[in-house]
Structure 1
Amino acid sequence: MAGVLNSILSYVVGTPQSEPMREDQVINNAGGYVWEVSDINRLRRFMCLGSEGGTYYVGEKELGLENAQCIRRMIMNGEGEKVVNEIKTFSVEGRTAKQNPILFALAICARDKDLKTKQAAYKVLDDVCRIPTHLFAFLELCEKLSRGTGWGRAHRRAVQDWYKRKSGKQLALAVTKYRQRNGWTHRDVLRLAHIKATKKPTAAVLKYIIKGLKVAREDFAIDEEADMDTENEKEEKETAQVLEFLTAVEEAKEAHEEEKVVQLIEKHRLVREHVPTQFLSSKLIWQALLREMPMTAMIRNLGKMTSIELLSDELSDEVSMVCEQLQCEESLKKARIHPFNVLLALKTYQSGHGDKGKLNWQPNKLIMNALDDAFYASFKNVEPTDKRFMLALDVSGSMSCNIHGASNVSAYCASAAMSMVTVRTEKNSHTVAFSHTMVPLKINASMKLTEVINEMKRIPMGATNCSLPMIHALKNNIPIDVFIVYTDCETWCGNVQPVEALRQYREKMNIDAKLIVCGMTSTGFTIADPDDTGMLDIAGFDSAAPEVIRNFIMGFI
């Protein structure tokens, strides 16, 4: 093997990766020389990948602080509104797997001294914090960042608007589905924000939060004899519907028979959070919930529903319903289902047990196949370019770390899944794996994600040499238009730097090849030269990554 490697390396000459090639290079966490990611790209990486669990070389705490400094640098450079726009775009378009990094970035902007940045942050609060869980997390982060200095006028007004802009029905569902998170309750928020509702349906919900259902019903009882115009009649009708829903929620709490809970679910569209714990092992209850269950909740509860045998029979209506939903691209897009969350659900469901507790199930093959289809469907605008690709997957030791805090999805597994999006889209693609040596990777468009990941597990890990894909293509005279390297950029092994290998490949093959570095962790490094317009650095698990890649290859960006 050493002889083959030396033969390959002889095709290129340059600067060892453990030494700087140019003055603008920096040393990475592994001791190799690379480039710093620009602040805007670092922000995007952080929002997509977070810093949960850190990487093989640096810890979570250090990465979090580094990314916070990146945001503050942009604000100091007058780019605070640009940061907020990025936060809103990534959140609204569902381009991130988890909301916490986005909320952290928004809280930094909201608590900054720059007035324009602060105003922009509070302006998008509704767009980013779509459910109470997000709002509570945002408020907690703001408290920590400001160290208990209190609620200013802008902060209070933004929170007031969050509650007041929702219809009575929307607010009633939100406050009963998410009663408390992160040590916060709605009563805490109302006390601090001093919210005064101008519309009766909203006021009825706020009264319910503070005083309970009985007082809310008494204070907002409909006067049948009062004269009402059309607008008042509409408001009174919605208030009555809100109180009826809240009554159903309270009745479900006190119910002793599952038939009663089923009736309330079917009539008032109650959700899992409204169901008392003692009924959450009932097949009838879950059958009723499934009919109107939101996509995210359905994916999260596939294991539970299989464990109680609701999804065990492959010929059942429930299995057909679940598979149809998972394979509906429009439904996935509407629910903002992120590809990483589908991958996580697939890996968890396939395992037959949860990460915590004693929940076990026998996986249903139809559902596993549907989850596989859902993974590809959850990416945005995947269209072929008809270019020649080499997909190079880093399988070095540092890629064994889990990403997004997921106990069963490593960076190398995630990169395998990402690469399959291109394999399924582009007819002319070569796939290889590398660490300190090249390893053939036999995957094809017909393979399921589980098969690809199992193939990856057979590959031994080693040190990192990100120049090997270009050297391999040059050595074997393989014509390539686009190299995509999936890596954490902790490259250090090798006698030539990746950019030098690419440039020598371009010169000797007479092909203006492009290099895309798909960063699988949120470190601040890239092997892509920022001064080379033929190189692009992107965050790995951005759901819009295939679209960005295509636009770059076709020369649109």
Structure 2
Amino acid sequence: MDPSSPPEQETGNCTSDGGSLTEEVHLRRFLCYGSESATYRAREQKNPCLECVTSLTGLLEAGRGSEAVQEVRNISMRGGVRSSGPALFALAVISQHSDVEAKRAAYGVLKEVCASPSELFSFVQYKKELSGAGQRGMWGRALRKAVADWYNGRDALTLAHHVTACKRKGGWSHQDLFRLAHLKPASDAITLVSKYVTKGWKAVQEMYGEQEKTEDVMKVFMYLEAVEKIKHTSDELEVAHLIEEHKLEREHLLTKHLKSREVWKALLKEMSLSTLLTHLGKMSADKLLCSGSAETAAVCERIQDEHALLKAKTHPLGVLLVAESYKRGHDKRGKLKWKPNRDVIQALDSAFCKCLSNVESTGKRFVVGVDVSSRLGSVALGSFISTVTIAAAMTMVITRTEPSAEVVLFSEGAVVPCAVSADSSLLQITMQLVQVCSSCTDCALPITWASENDKVVDVFVIFTNNETWPGRSNPAQTLRTYRQKFGVTAKLIVCGMTTNSLNLVDPDDGGMLEVCGFDSHTADVIRDFITGVI
């Protein structure tokens, strides 16, 4: 046995399975990545449906709808989910059920789960699809009150921002919801917003233009005035001034405004870090990020700001995905092209290393196995990144954040330990991974190696570039044998970076997970599985 075993880990009770898969676990998987299964697919983006979430139906039929609501709220509040769609769909399903307490609970958390107008529109659309009663038939008292509370529960200035930045989605508009919810504004300032939404800016001017206004009403009036002004001006300096004075965002601008360097400079001052990272290519294409410019220096400083990176909970793999996409010099469809700026690339590389400290240790004992039976040069599904870079980056994250983590390279019949020091760079780790190349894949080998060398492991993470080579041993059965030998409920994650299907784990075993491809949410899914969330 490994003498470094954490004292809190019990090894006396033998077990061969990874725990029962309860309805709650299935529901949390659905909420996190849109599927109840033990497979996360980076490319898969299905619309939620009742067939996708049988666990929710089971909880409702068992009279546990209120518990399901709390699961929805908790997963939504913690963040890191692939999409808000599953949570909104789940709330819509619960709100249609006959369980009065569950329905009340679902509507009660709507303001928290729907953080944006876009999400509110999606919830209402899901309600419409589930009700089968048409647009008008579904608007009972409970839904009207919930929607009205969503609007009245916001600060008036925030609400003004919401209704101007996101006006409609999926056939719904704020005007529709105000009317159908029979909204009665909770304050004079919200009354102004309501007037703007339902009657337009001209009606607001006629009613409020010469009228004496309270401070709150004046703030909202001036904000809406700025939003309207920006629609009718081509003067880039005036646009920039309005952005800076009223903290307007990209959604308030016309397409022609985004061709101006002055406009981008103004947007940068209040732009969130996540939005900034998303638009690096666009800013380079518009010649804003020129070598040696003040704008480039400001952007690079923001990208490397440790406090901002921590506040945004930026994962190093998220930065890596942005960096690799930016280095390509064009977007997914190739319509937008730019020349990558060397200073920006260096800032992104620096941000990747700084973000390593954002990842909290799970306290588990890891073995990371990297399959080197074929060249790791292909691109992972769901990203622009090579499989070797992903394997190296994930290895770096785990070895830097976990106190007990060993890395092995494996191919048919061979397992070679790979020393990764605390100061190893991403490039150094990458070079170590590409030095070995063999023939066939046997994903059970890292588990067998740990067993033969008396390594007590909590989590096996295996990265493979091949599709469905099971090798001589089945990884699922090998893991069960390992669990029985050491008396630990070890977990297994197999990441097939270039395939949409693996079939190497037992879907009924709560301690096994497959990952197909790799995207910006994969690292969160892996962590949630390790920590027992899903």
After TM superposition, the score normalised by the length of structure 1 is: 0.74
Q: Compared with structure 1, are the counterparts of its residues 500 and 456 closer, same or farther at alpha carbon in structure 2 (3 Å cutoff)? A: same
Partner AA of 1:123 in structure 2 = G
Alignment partner, residue 156 of structure 2:
168
Alignment partner, residue 211 of structure 1:
199
- 2-side partners of 1:338 and 1:75: how far apart? 35
Aligned residue runs from structure 1 range 71-110, under 5 A: 71-110=56-95
Does 2:303 match 1:326? yes
- 2-side partners of 1:274 and 1:465: how far apart? 54
Among 447, 452, 459, the alignment partner of 1:470 is: 447
Displacement of 1:294 after TM fit?
A: 1.9
Alignment partner, residue 220 of structure 1:
208
Alignment partner, residue 490 of structure 2:
515
Alignment partner, residue 382 of structure 1:
360
Deviations 1:441-480 (A, max 9, x none): 96845566688679879998999754322113334x2634
Among 11, 19, 25, the alignment partner of 1:41 is: 25
Q: Compared with structure 1, are the counterparts of its residues 381 and 452 closer, same or farther at alpha carbon in structure 2 (3 Å cutoff)? A: closer
Partner AA of 1:353 in structure 2 = H
Alignment partner, residue 140 of structure 1:
125
Displacement of 1:90 after TM fit?
A: 2.2
- 2-side partners of 1:460 and 1:102: how far apart? 44
- 2-side partners of 1:87 and 1:411: how far apart? 33
- 1-side partners of 2:95 and 2:356: how far apart? 31
Aligned residue runs from structure 1 range 128-527, under 5 A: 128-147=113-132, 148=134, 149-221=137-209, 223-224=211-212, 236-313=214-291, 315-332=292-309, 334-335=311-312, 341-356=318-333, 358-372=335-349, 374=351, 377=355, 382-383=360-361, 385=363, 389-392=366-369, 406=382, 408=384, 417-426=393-402, 428-432=404-408, 444=420, 446=423, 466-475=443-452, 477=453, 479-486=455-462, 493-494=470-471, 496-498=473-475, 500-502=477-479, 504-505=481-482, 515-518=490-493, 527=506
Q: Compared with structure 1, are the counterparts of its residues 339 and 187 closer, same or farther at alpha carbon in structure 2 (3 Å cutoff)? A: farther
After TM superposition, the score normalised by the length of structure 2 is: 0.77
Displacement of 1:222 after TM fit?
A: 6.2
Partner AA of 1:49 in structure 2 = Y
Q: Compared with structure 1, are the counterparts of its residues 57 and 260 closer, same or farther at alpha carbon in structure 2 (3 Å cutoff)? A: closer
Q: Compared with structure 1, are the counterparts of its residues 325 and 126 closer, same or farther at alpha carbon in structure 2 (3 Å cutoff)? A: farther
Deviations 1:326-356 (A, max 9, x none): 3445434544656665454233223221113
- 2-side partners of 1:513 and 1:106: how far apart? 37
SS in 1 for 2:259: coil
Partner AA of 1:129 in structure 2 = C
Structure 2 gaps, min length 5: 1-14, 516-520
Contact 1:63 1:522 (8 Å CA) reproduced: no
Partner AA of 1:308 in structure 2 = D
Contact 2:444 2:474 (8 Å CA) reproduced: yes
Displacement of 1:506 after TM fit?
A: 6.4
Partner AA of 2:89 in structure 1 = F
Contact 1:470 1:502 (8 Å CA) reproduced: yes
Displacement of 1:217 after TM fit?
A: 2.7
Deviations 1:157-209 (A, max 9, x none): 11111111111110111111111222222112212211110301111011111
SS in 1 for 2:492: strand
- 2-side partners of 1:519 and 1:42: how far apart? 19
Partner AA of 2:228 in structure 1 = E
- 1-side partners of 2:108 and 2:402: how far apart? 41
Equivalenced residues, count: 500
Deviations 1:384-430 (A, max 9, x none): 74x75311357999x99977xx4546999767644432122236533
Contact 2:21 2:508 (8 Å CA) reproduced: no
- 1-side partners of 2:307 and 2:216: how far apart? 30
Contact 2:157 2:220 (8 Å CA) reproduced: yes
- 2-side partners of 1:64 and 1:458: how far apart? 46
- 1-side partners of 2:58 and 2:412: how far apart? 36
Does 2:116 match 1:120? no
Structure 1 gaps, min length 5: 1-21, 26-33, 225-232
- 1-side partners of 2:238 and 2:442: how far apart? 63
SS in 2 for 1:151: coil
Superposed CA RMSD in Å reads: 4.5
Contact 1:519 1:537 (8 Å CA) reproduced: yes
Contact 2:261 2:286 (8 Å CA) reproduced: yes
Contact 1:467 1:496 (8 Å CA) reproduced: yes
Displacement of 1:546 after TM fit?
A: 4.8
Structure 1 range deviating more: 151-160 or 69-78: 69-78
Displacement of 1:289 after TM fit?
A: 0.6
